[in-house]
Structure 1
Amino acid sequence: MTKPIFRIAFTLSLLILAACTQTAKTTATAPPQQLETMTDPATGQPVIKGPVLTGTAPRTPGKTIGASSIPAPTASTAADFDTTSNAQKAAAAAPPASAERRLGTTVASLGDPSQPGFWIKTPLAKSETGGRIVNPANGKSAKVRLIPLGGPASGGSQVSLPALQLIGVSLTDLPTLEVYEG
């Protein structure tokens, strides 16, 4: 009676091992998953078919983050996240030294507060370059890095925490800002 039970157990373990081996082979050689045809809800544009991407995007070349520009792991207030120095704030608040070209206006919101520096991610920018944002409500401005953001030119923008503070905008407001290149 015990011999048939051992035979059945042995046979089942062989089948389980065979199934595991077969699964590993099929996942290693499976073609990449393809996106179905769909519309991007943010832009209303059709999404291009292609492989589903996983992982993280690469950093912008030439950008470095020093230990002093990374907020503390326990950061919980705006002051904790603002890692800019007084000299950096003074340089960003300085008046423009050269001619600037107005790109337009945009509704802005707070971007990633853990990303240091003075920047704006906006669909008004076509390439990463220097620029300025102006708060027309009080006339304050800040020199920022213009970073392209996908979407229509009428889409909103994301602004760094120190830049919003410099131009006198509450972190929960959605102000309309003027954006300049140059």
Structure 2
Amino acid sequence: MSSEQLAAVTAVTRAPSPRPAARATPAQLDTTTAEQKAAAAKAPETSEVKLGTTVASLGNPTEGGFWIKTPLVKARGVGRIRNPENGKSAKVDLIPLDAPASGGSQVSLPALQLIGVSLTDLPVIEVFKS
């Protein structure tokens, strides 16, 4: 087989490159309403207990709502997260995460946005239980 024939066969049998997967934007994934965001941004309760600090990363962006999965809690509850860099906070559902306390936490997309954190950052945040 000549090199020209081999090139023709290779060109015909090579699979086409896959199309890049469509990527959703944070705005498309955030399904919370303006009312939900306003409620989550309300002032903290006075009967809170600080559970500690944790490194936060973006959790599953398709899971809606305001939540944190953290090893700082052993049972589900209600609480608040606070970004000490800017003082912004959000009321969240506290969800236990089976990991070492130093292992970090996963935070919902709308909660990270509400406290002013870039979705690619790994900030240290404060966690409170109501």
Asked if TM exceeds 0.5, the reply is: yes
Q: Which residue of 2 aligns with 1:146?
A: 94
Q: Which residue of 1 aligns with 2:33?
A: 85
Q: Which residue of 1 aligns with 2:129?
A: 181
Deviation at 1:152, TM superposition (A): 1.2
Deviation at 1:151, TM superposition (A): 1.3
Higher-Rg member (1/2): 1
Ranges of 4+ aligned residues in structure 1 off by more than 6 Å: none
CA contact (8 A) 1:134 1:167 kept: yes
Report % sequence identity: 68
Higher strand share: 2
Q: Which amino acid aligns with 2:112?
A: L
User: Unaligned 5+ residue runs, structure 2?
Assistant: 1-21
The structure, 1 or 2, with the larger RCO (C-alpha pairs under 8 Å, 6+ apart) is: 2
CA contact (8 A) 1:75 1:81 kept: no
What TM-score does the superposition give when structure 1 sets the normalisation length?
Answer: 0.58
The correspondence of residues 67-86 of structure 1 with structure 2, limited to 5 A, is 76-86=24-34
Q: Which amino acid aligns with 1:157?
A: S
Q: CA RMSD in A?
A: 1.1
Q: Which residue of 2 aligns with 1:103?
A: 51
Matched residues, number: 109
CA contact (8 A) 1:164 1:170 kept: yes
